[in-house]
Structure 1
């Protein structure tokens, strides 16, 4: 809720935050990673991917991986990057971008150091140049080659709003989906965030190639980006998973709350006739579980079944937010409000017990996070 970024669309929001992000430190990254993961775990999430694309003041992707291991969350860490600053026609200030040679070298380093391809792995690396308006086409191509040579996934932002579309058309002479296809950024090892403005041609391309989409309804509403065509994507066969985006663009990381937004927003998008059937509670559950697993390229998570990772959460049905909803507890998870889960198990490890984090002192974490946030914004 940083004041200059409260009432902005995507590009102005980024311009307001780039200078603040340039002051991030390794401790801020570790503490904020654990704070975000605590909120996710307490709201029913067992697996997360975070797209870190700014590395000032000695920050490394390793900071997030170490933080995730301590708290006990399964983590796909995305080595993001920005290489095209304002002086070259990009959106970010020059001082927050990196040299492309350094980006590729460090990406290879973290893949070799951290990526675990094994079934039930708790940590994997994703290769993730930030967006068409902050990296070169050459970096996108080379990143795709690197990722496929080492068997890791690819991720970026795509078609987030109308300005994003206009930038891609003006700069590259094509739509975002055409841009992705030309650079090798389609396939079952790729997923794109947002895709609010993905057109019919793009939806057909993603369906044909198995390219995934991370749906971020809260962030899309917060930044007035629009409503992603999730119904059309699902009907076409596009893999869709649920995401909360980040605290700067959502101001919440509550997975069940995000699923509720996904459910209701598709109904709003389709109006009073088609809307009620545009998204159901059971469908949004699938998007939040098996959908996310498919987008991440995993067949060992997302369901309670023999041979799958031991991930599960429990919810009390006698909470005030679920009062009177016991006749359909599953639907109640998404139509009603669940403040936090009672228990959570990730890969057999209890990480939430009786509504409290089992691995960290949450009040102490929040206290430190608040102190660092105040320091970051006021500097």
Structure 2
């Protein structure tokens, strides 16, 4: 089947990079783009005139929230942050799943719907383990894969696994408590899931290894992850270089920096994706000067998954996007929290980079768009994603620019990043098949999902109290922005 989209603005691919096409058309047959240009003269089976829209290559989110958001709770934490980790008592005696498998499936459906509604076409999931008994079981990812297939997204999936968990000790300090058997079982399930997706044979689903945070893995688990990644030829994503607590734990336990630990176990390789990657030697809290970390990352061929919106909300940023890019590090993007809005994320990133480098041209909008498309494709080893060109996969997303609240239009990409939001996504296709249609997701009851997610969020929020070292209630852990309104008593003489 041959389908055509027309739009006022299309970010096409030409001469090795993106190029803006005004009043253009993109045509695809089955799952492949066959034409992009001003006017297609051949016959088509279906067409859509998107009018005053900007059509982009499908956005690639490599740290995509597939959970109910917790940042809304813990990004305000401050001194009470200790209450948001597991207590040592909870780890040793009382840990359990807050949600049933069916409820977890509802959460995954809600989260994947959010990705699609925000114009994401390719994702690699991230979910919190705080409210699970340990990490992510095999069965949960099997169910998630089916949800992803039903919605039609392109997913790089695997169950998260770990051999340790961050805990708060009775004196309020932070440590990692280990259960090595859980790590062994988790990796076994991860390999089993790779086999499951191989047998499934769905071109939209690819198995990857998704170990949790670097400080929650034993050296044996790190080494085995690296070995299996090499032998199976699969991607590995590992959260690392996130903060000082992680760095201190790694150095105390191993006598190495996180980068040195990754290198020791053969993980610094082109198949490794590292979300955040903010705490290099050049970070002001480390040495404040480049002592070779960036060059080491660039030479290894790893990809950084930069999550600017989440970093900002936790008071962090890259030092800097421009420096990483100029060093030759491949930069891709992730959202990591709600909303999964890469448009807002790109805008935040552009302006954080100005602060980091002290210059307004530190990270032009086009560099962030490249990270969300071509950078993500490079991280995945896919030269058929992240671009609109003949032969590429027909992964496209259209954002409406016809609302007066969008403001006046200069360059459509720069103006959209500055003034817009991914909520302006109206239509998307993945491998040529419609996912987002007129702003909706056919076959999904979004109102029911919204109501279900709120109920599950309330349960998730309440469960923090039982994990807290002091067993404080949610009113103490999550105080409101303002006190509740008090109803006045009856007036005198009434």
Shift of 1:297: 2.3
Residues 341 and 53 of structure 1: CA distance in aligned 2, closer, same or farther (over 3 Å) = closer
SS of structure 2 residue aligned to 1:46: strand
Show the counterpart of 1:56: 133
Q: Any conservation in 2 of the 1:116–1:123 contact (CA below 8 Å)?
A: no
Aligned to 1:329: 412
Alignment match of 1:99 (pick from 173, 182, 194)? 182
Shift of 1:94: 5.9
CA 1:8 to 1:78, structure 2 compared with 1: closer, same or farther past 3 Å?
A: farther
Q: Deviations over 1:260-318 (max 9, x none)?
A: 111111112112xxx21111111111011111111122222100112211011112221
Higher relative contact order (CA 8 A, sep 6+): 2
Q: In the alignment, what sits opposite 2:223?
A: 141
Residue 36 of structure 1 aligns with which residue? 111
Of residues 143, 146, 151, the one that matches 1:66 is: 146
The answer as to whether partners of 1:342 and 1:352 remain within 8 angstroms in 2 is yes
**Structure 1: distance between partners of 2:451 and 2:375:** 35
Distance 1:154 1:236 in 2: 22
Q: Tell me if 1:154 matches 2:241.
A: no
**Count of aligned pairs between the two proteins:** 369
Which position in structure 2 is the counterpart of 1:206? 297
> Which residues of structure 2 form unaligned runs of 5+?
1-69, 282-289, 464-494
Change (3 A) 1:85 1:158: closer
Distance 2:80 2:298 in 1: 28
The answer to whether the 8 A contact 1:159-1:176 is kept is yes
Task: Give 1:41 shift.
Answer: 1.9
Does 2:440 align with 1:360? Answer: no
Give the alignment partner of residue 197 of structure 2, picking from 104, 114, 136: 114
CA RMSD for the aligned pairs? 3.0
Q: CA deviation at 1:225?
A: 3.5
Matching residue of 2:327: 236
Under a length normalisation based on structure 2, what TM-score does the superposition of the two structures give? 0.68
**Highest CA radius of gyration, 1 or 2?**
2
The one-character-per-residue Cα deviations of 1:173-195 (angstroms, maximum 9, x if unpaired) are 12211111111111111110101
Determine the structure 2 residue equivalent to 1:7. Answer: 76
User: Which residue of 2 is the match for residue 190 of structure 1?
Assistant: 272
Higher strand proportion: 2
> What TM-score results when the alignment is normalised by the length of structure 1?
0.88
Contact 2:240 2:276 in 1 (8 A): yes
Higher helix share: 1
- The Cα shift of 1:10 comes to 12
Mark the CA change 1:277 to 1:11 in structure 2 (over 3 Å): closer, same or farther. Answer: farther
* Structure 1 gap ranges (5+): none
